[in-house]
Amino acid sequence: MLWIAWRILVGDTAKYLGMIIGVAFASLLIAQQASIFCGLMRLTVSQILDVEGAAIWVMDPDVQFVDDIKPLSENELLRVRGVEGVRWAVRFFKGLGRARLAEGEYQQVVLLGLDDATLVGAPQTILLGSLDDLRQPDAVMMDRRGFERLWPGEPLSVGKTFEMNDRRAVIVGVCESRRTFQTFPVVYTRYSQATMFAPHERKLLSFILVQNEPNVDADALCRRITQQTGLQALTRNGFIWKTIFYYLRQTGIPVNFGITVLLGFIVGVAIAGQTFYLFAVENARQYATLKALGLSDARVVVMILQQAVVVGLIGYSIGVGGAAIFGLLIQNRSKLAFFMPWQVLLGTGIAVLVIVLAVSVLSVRRVIVMEPAEVFK
Amino acid sequence: MTMAVPQGEGLAVVCRAVTKEFRQGSVIVRALRGVDVEVRMGELTLLMGPSGCGKTTLLSVMAGILDPTSGSINVLGSDIERLTSRQKTAFRMKNIGFVFQMHNLLPALSAMENTAVPLLIARRPRNAALAAARQLLEGVGLGERVDALPSRLSGGEQQRVAIARALVHRPRLLVCDEPTSALDAKSGHAIMQQLRDIAVEPDRAVVVVTHDPRVIEFADRIATMDDGRITDVRETKA
Ligand SMILES: Nc1ncnc2c1ncn2[C@@H]1O[C@H](COP(=O)(O)OP(=O)(O)OP(=O)(O)O)[C@@H](O)[C@H]1O
Ligand SMILES: [Mg+2]
């Protein structure tokens, strides 16, 4: 009977397409908005993602998210190093600097200071120059986006200079960095150098990056560090989630996107639901005939579910595919964040499933409640 | 009801004191007011009477697609008012063939596929079902049109497909509600002729509801209804 269900479905081309468009539209809207939401959330943590090589971040107990810098004093570093299970612990400076260009213009930059000896937290993709060049006096490395912003139209190059805090900085390399909410250029330098570039402050130690001993669990070590030093210690993932939750709590982002996703859901239910319902009503006579001829209600239900699943699958594929294409198209052209992890696909799939099931329940009711005697009407 | 229904020799349907009431809001419509009637095997029985007298209701009750309010109906030896809805569904699948006024073919299926539907419902393999359907369509003179969609067929041809569908699973009771009323006189005549020729068999009963006096010539027996009751049953010389 399943091929009959299929033929009934495609036999009514207009409604068949209408239902698919409804589901496709809903899943496009849901997947696309959810992906932009995920993209934005990823933006908030890109500065954590850019730091690889350390399992644990140690910071002031009051720090809420990655840009919420509350510097530590130098002897905290020694105390952290003293905690059992710590393999190594290094300084990491993160702050804002003011670059004064040759032309006399000023530009805010994100200043990152890496441990002089190990350069832990260094950029992962270096386009020009090498990491070792950072060890030269006054050396800094700038991210490509920042370079293009400061010297638009010029090819990437080393040797450009600017001033920070009245000190000369020489660009010895260009690297990639993940986009952030702030579009400031990112400047990497050694920690000792960064302390001179940064505006004078009493304390400069933003974070301590820690690696655990191989046989020590990172989460357990975090707890131990907190216990012994009173500092906040988080795994890289823990810090990522803390930052994301901070943005979720403190901004209207989730609400705004929640509303759009909900809207997509409602629109999908409305379009697909209404068309499917009309479809069921108009085909009710066919189902009544089949029931009169001896088709059981259970098999009628299976036929309707099959029709709904077919519509759902096709609509879902079109919608999610459309969202992915949209993502590819905007990836290079605009500043809109777009990130479609598998969870978005799964979530959209579940939403579509709910739409499709809700709609079939309506239709099934319409067909089951109907007496087969209606065929003689 | 414990009253036993006398199952006479060669009786396909026996109705005793059958009533059916429809509730429409606060109004109760009494469509059947105590019907006693028998349908014989091997005969074509006409059910006639004015509009609204209860013909379709009685036919639906006989076919097991509508439950009576009271009374007993024995169809092919089964007291169908005692069957559960699921059993009735299975009973129809096995024993009843339907011809509707508006043919009720599935518009997306070809003539052959439509004809095969009762066999497919009975879970017969698709190829066997389609082969049987083709044979029956040839029997009603539609051998050339097996792949046509219903919308490509004339009203008379559609009704012939409907007859083929009604017979494909070899049911023992064939119920037809106004099979000719949507057709012109000539096609109606042809359809009745076909029903007589291929549907009426010793082991099958055919009940045809109509108010078209021109089909009387095809009947073995005519039951006349009025206002929810059988008022007259007479034999004709078909
Ligand atoms: N589902 C229903 N709900 C309410 N009333 C109904 C229903 N079905 C039939 N009736 C009523 O029952 C009575 C008998 O209807 P039925 O359809 O059996 O008549 P009929 O003899 O077939 O008429 P016609 O020749 O016009 O087809 C009519 O008064 C009709 O309005
Ligand atoms: Mg009628």
Cβ partners under 8 Å of residue B59, min gap 6: A376, B47, B175, B177, B207, B209
Q: How far is the C-alpha of A111 from the C-alpha of A95, rounded, in Å? A: 5
Predicted pLDDT at B1: 40
ipTM above 0.95, yes or no: no
Nearest alpha-carbon partner for A146 in A184, A94, A102: A184
Contact B107 A4 (CB under 8 A): no
Ligand 1 atom closest to the Cα of residue A373 is 1
Q: Give the total residue count for chain B.
A: 238
Contact A4 B109 (CB under 8 A): yes
Interface test with A, best of B23, B29, B32, B60 (most A CBs within 10 A): B60
What are the sequence ranges of the domains in chain B? 11-106+162-233
Spell out which residues of chain A touch residue B63, defining contact as CB-CB under 8 Å.
292
CB atoms under 10 Å from CB of B40, counted, come to 17
- As beta bridge partners, residue B177 has B209
Spell out which residues of chain A touch residue B56, defining contact as CB-CB under 8 Å.
376
Q: Report phi then psi at B26, rounded to 5.
A: -90, -10
Of A8, A289, A375, the CB nearest to B108: A8
Ligand 1 atom closest to the Cα of residue B60 is 18
Q: What percent of chain B has pLDDT over 90?
A: 72
**B70-75: strand order across its sheet:** B27-40, B11-24, B70-75, B78-79
**Could you give the angle at the alpha carbon of A107 between the alpha carbons of A103 and A113, nearest 5°?**
120
Q: In which residue are the tokens 């076909």 written?
A: B194
Note the pLDDT tens digit of each residue in A312-348.
999 999 999 999 998 888 876 666 778 888 888 998 8
Predicted pLDDT at A16: 85
For residue B41, pLDDT over 60 is answered with yes
Note the pLDDT tens digit of each residue in B47-83.
999 999 999 999 999 999 999 999 999 999 999 889 9
Q: Is residue B74 a contact partner of residue B13, using CB atoms and an 8 Å limit? A: yes
Ligand 1 atom closest to the Cα of residue B30 is 12
Q: According to CATH, what is the number of the domain B11-106+162-233? A: 3.40.50.300
For residue A310, pLDDT over 50 is answered with yes
CB atoms under 10 Å from CB of A13, counted, come to 10
Q: What is the DSSP letter of A215?
A: T
Contact B121 A294 (CB under 8 A): yes
Q: Residue A149 Cα, ligand 1 centroid: separation in angstroms?
A: 82
Spell out which residues of chain B touch residue A5, defining contact as CB-CB under 8 Å.
none
SS (H, E, C) chain B: CCCCCCCCCCEEEEEEEEEEEEEECCEEEEEEEEEEEEEECCCEEEEECCCCCCHHHHHHHHCCCCCCCEEEEEECCEEHHHCCHHHHHHHHHHHEEEECCCCCCCCCCCHHHHHHHHHHHCCCCHHHHHHHHHHHHHHCCCHHHCCCCHHHCCHHHHHHHHHHHHHCCCCCEEEEECCCCCCCHHHHHHHHHHHHHHHCCCCCEEEEECCCHHHHHHCCEEEEEECCEEEEEEECCC
For residue B34, pLDDT over 90 is answered with yes
Ligand 1 atom closest to the Cα of residue A376 is 17
For residue B5, pLDDT over 50 is answered with no
Tell me which residues have their CB within 5 A of the ion that is ligand 2.
B 56
| Average pLDDT of the residues in A282-299 | 88
Provide the residue type at A23 as one letter: V
Q: Is the CB of B54 under 6 A from ligand 1?
A: yes
Q: Is residue B40 a contact partner of residue B76, using CB atoms and an 8 Å limit? A: no
Predicted pLDDT at B238: 54
Predicted pLDDT at A335: 66
Average pLDDT, chain A: 88
Instruction: Give B84 to chain A, closest Cα distance, Å.
Output: 12
* pLDDT band per the 50, 70, 90 thresholds, residue B24: confident
Q: Residue B199 Cα, ligand 1 centroid: separation in angstroms?
A: 27
Q: Is the CB of B23 under 6 A from ligand 1?
A: no
Note the pLDDT tens digit of each residue in A166-208.
899 999 999 998 887 778 999 999 999 998 898 777 788 999 9
Q: What percent of chain A has pLDDT over 70?
A: 99
For residue B171, pLDDT over 50 is answered with yes
Predicted pLDDT at B3: 43
Spell out which residues of chain B touch residue A296, defining contact as CB-CB under 8 Å.
86, 89-90
Q: Is the CB of B31 under 6 A from ligand 1?
A: yes
* pLDDT band per the 50, 70, 90 thresholds, residue A261: confident
Predicted pLDDT at B2: 40
Predicted pLDDT at A11: 85
